[in-house]
C-alpha cells in the first residue's frame, strides 16, 4: 500500500466545467495532491481566469482546453489532443452543469414547471446528462482500454437525493403562480447523474475503472440574506458550505484512499438530507 494514500503524483485529471466556481476547487485539490489538472470548459473567459489563478496560487503548471461537453466530436478531438500533448487521462470529473441561480436577488422568472420551456429542458439535460455521457464514453473508454483503469467522478448535488424546497425561493409581492422555483431540470439531471454513476461503476469494473458521485450541498456565494437564513435552518451544521470544503472529498475520491469505493454517492451537505 502506498505511503500517502491520497497522493495523486503521476495522475492526470480532466475536469469539465473547469472554468466555474467548483471546477477551480476540484483542480486545486488535484494539484495539491501532486496531480496534473486539465481544465475543460465552454467558457473561455472563466477557463483562462481559473487557469491563471490556479497556476499563480499553486506555482504548478495547469492545462486548459475549450470544450463543449454537448458536442461529441469536440470531446473526441480534445481527448485526443490531451492524450498527445499531456498523456493518459487517469481521472475524469464530470462537473459541468447549467446552474440557474434561483436564489439570486432577482431570481428566475421562467422556471415554473407549468410552463417550463422545452428548449430549456433540452439545454439543461444536454449539458448535465448528455455531456457527462459523452465525456464518460470518450475518456472512460480510453481508461478501460489499456488495462490501467481509472476513476470517474460525477458531481451531483444534495438535490440528487432530496427534492428542492421551493419555499426557499419565494419572493414577497409575487403571485403564487409567478413565484420563482428551482427548475425541474436540476432535479432530473442530478438524479440522472446518480444512475450514470451506478451504471458506470459496474460497466468497467473488470477493467479497473471506478465511478462514484459527489453530492455537494449549497455553497455560499453571496446569495440573498433571506434565502440564506431560511436555508441554514434546514442544515444540521447550521451554515452553507465554503467553496473549498469539497477539496478533501475530491482528493479522497480520486486517490487510492477510496480504492474500495465504487458506485457510491458521497453526500456532503452539512447533514441537510438527513433531516
Ligand X SMILES: NC(=O)c1ccc[n+]([C@@H]2O[C@H](COP(=O)([O-])OP(=O)(O)OC[C@H]3O[C@@H](n4cnc5c(N)ncnc54)[C@H](O)[C@@H]3O)[C@@H](O)[C@H]2O)c1
Phi, psi of 15 (to 5 degrees): -120, 110
CA distance 119 to 111: 12
- d(CA 43, CA 40) in angstroms, rounded, equals 9
Query: Rounded to an integer, what distance in angstroms lies between the CA atom of residue 87 and that of residue 200?
Result: 23
Considering only 75-83, 102-110, 136-144, 211-219, which stretch makes contact with ligand X by CB under 6 A?
A: 211-219
CA dihedral sign of residues 134, 267, 62, 150: negative
Task: Give the range of 6-14, 67-75, 107-115, 137-145 binding ligand X by CB under 6 A.
Answer: 67-75
In the block, cell 483542480 appears at 27
Shortest Cβ distance from residue 130 to ligand X (Å)?
9
Q: Minimum distance between the CB of residue 115 and ligand X, rounded to whole angstroms?
A: 23
Contact between 223 and ligand X per CB under 6 A: no
Q: Is 9 in the site for ligand X (CB under 6 A)?
A: no
CA 153 to chain centre: 8
| Stretch of 92-100, 171-179, 199-207, 252-260 contacting ligand X, by CB under 6 A | 92-100
- Listed ranges 4-12, 63-71, 167-175, 252-260: which one lies at the site for ligand X (CB under 6 A): 63-71
**7 vs 230, which CB is nearer to ligand X?**
230
Pick from 6, 34, 43, 262 the residue near ligand X by CB under 6 A: 43
Label residues 216-235 b or e (16+ Cβ within 10 Å = b): bbbbeeebeeebbeebbebb
Least distance in angstroms from the C-beta of 186 to ligand X:
7
State the minimum distance, in angstroms, from the CB of residue 247 to ligand X.
13
Nearer to ligand X, 7 or 66 (CB): 66
78 binding ligand X? (CB under 6 A): no
How is residue 244 written as a grid cell? 473549498
| Nearest residue relative to ligand X (C-beta) | 20
First to last CA, the chain: 38
Is residue 13 at the binding interface for ligand X, with CB under 6 A as the rule? no
Q: How far is CA 236 from the centre of its chain?
A: 23
Residue 10: partners with Cβ closer than 8 Å, 6 or more residues away = 34, 35
From 81-89, 135-143, 213-221, 258-266, span contacting ligand X (CB under 6 A): 213-221
Site for ligand X in 103-162 (CB under 6 A): 127, 131, 155, 157
Nearest to residue 68, comparing CAs of 126, 7, 139, 10? Answer: 126
Q: What is the nearest approach in angstroms of ligand X to the Cβ of residue 275?
A: 17
C-alpha grid cell for residue 187? 432535479
- By the criterion CB under 6 A, which residues form the site for ligand X? 16-17, 19-23, 41-43, 46, 67-70, 95-99, 127, 131, 155, 157, 216, 218-219
Amino acid at each position: 500500500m502506498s505511503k500517502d494514500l491520497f497522493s495523486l503524483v503521476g495522475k492526470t485529471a480532466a475536469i469539465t466545467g473547469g472554468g466555474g466556481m467548483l471546477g477551480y476547487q476540484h483542480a486545486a485539490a488535484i494539484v495539491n495532491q501532486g496531480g496534473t489538472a486539465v481544465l475543460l470548459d465552454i467558457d473561455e473567459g472563466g477557463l483562462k481566469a481559473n487557469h491563471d489563478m490556479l497556476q499563480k496560487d499553486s506555482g504548478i503548471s495547469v492545462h486548459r482546453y475549450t470544450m463543449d461537453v454537448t458536442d461529441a466530436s469536440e470531446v473526441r478531438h480534445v481527448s485526443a489532443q490531451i492524450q498527445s500533448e499531456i498523456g493518459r487521462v487517469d481521472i475524469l470529473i464530470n462537473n459541468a452543469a447549467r446552474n440557474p441561480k434561483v436564489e439570486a436577488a432577482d431570481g428566475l422568472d421562467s422556471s415554473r414547471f407549468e410552463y417550463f420551456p422545452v428548449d430549456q429542458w433540452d439545454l439543461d439535460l444536454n449539458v448535465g446528462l448528455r455531456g457527462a455521457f459523452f465525456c464518460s464514453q470518450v475518456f472512460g473508454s480510453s481508461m478501460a482500454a489499456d488495462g490501467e483503469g481509472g476513476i470517474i467522478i460525477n458531481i451531483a448535488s444534495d438535490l440528487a437525493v432530496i427534492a428542492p424546497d421551493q419555499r426557499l425561493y419565494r419572493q414577497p409581492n409575487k403571485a403564487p403562480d409567478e413565484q420563482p422555483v428551482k427548475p425541474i431540470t436540476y432535479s432530473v439531471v442530478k438524479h440522472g447523474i446518480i444512475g450514470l454513476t451506478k451504471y458506470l461503476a459496474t460497466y468497467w469494473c473488470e477493467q479497473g475503472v471506478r465511478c462514484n458521485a459527489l453530492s455537494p450541498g449549497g455553497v455560499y456565494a453571496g446569495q440573498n440574506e433571506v434565502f440564506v437564513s431560511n436555508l441554514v435552518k434546514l442544515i444540521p451544521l447550521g451554515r452553507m458550505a465554503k467553496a473549498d470544503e469539497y477539496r478533501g472529498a475530491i482528493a479522497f475520491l480520486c486517490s487510492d484512499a477510496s480504492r474500495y469505493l465504487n458506485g457510491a454517492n458521497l453526500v456532503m451537505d452539512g447533514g441537510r438530507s438527513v433531516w
